[in-house]
Amino acid sequence: MSTEVEAPSVAELENALSQQKKRLRTLERRRENLLQKIEAVDEEIAQLRGTSGTDGRHGPRAKNDKPLRAYVIEVLGRYKKGLPLAKLADKVREAGYQSNSSKFNNTVYQCTYHSDEITRDPDSGNYVLVK
């Protein structure tokens, strides 16, 4: 009586690897979302303490000609496929928006989250204008 174990086929191994990669992407996206939520809570705590950062030092409030939302919509209007959060924040600053926020990406995230005109494409992870 032989109890030989049959080795998995290449197709089975590729399928298992594909499943692992998919799970990894899901967990990485979940981690990113949780980090953004933690940053939002940290920012709210800092605001309640009367500080804009964890060290309690902040300068005068930056003045802009239009609200952040207008800058974000203007930038996304130039990118039909949208932009990931970090790149969106960079492009908004390049467009002239001034901020003293130490967590500007979180500020932009809050802006996109609370806007009915902006959504996050679940496939690409990019923020896009609602059509």
Spatial CA neighbour of 120 closest among 36, 51, 61:
36
- Provide the whole-model pTM: 0.55
Q: What is the pLDDT of residues 20-79, one digit of tens each?
A: 999 999 999 898 888 888 888 888 888 888 755 445 455 677 788 899 999 999 999 999
- Say whether both 124 and 100 belong to one domain: yes
Look up the domain containing 119 and give its range. 64-131
For residue 105, tell me if it sits in a domain.
yes
User: How many domains is the chain built from?
Assistant: 2
Q: Distance between terminal CA atoms of the chain?
A: 67
Show Cβ contacts of residue 25 under 8 Å, excluding neighbours closer than 6 positions: none
- Say whether both 69 and 127 belong to one domain: yes
Q: What is the pLDDT of residues 102-115, one digit of tens each?
A: 899 999 999 999 99
- Say whether both 46 and 86 belong to one domain: no
For residue 3, tell me if it sits in a domain.
no
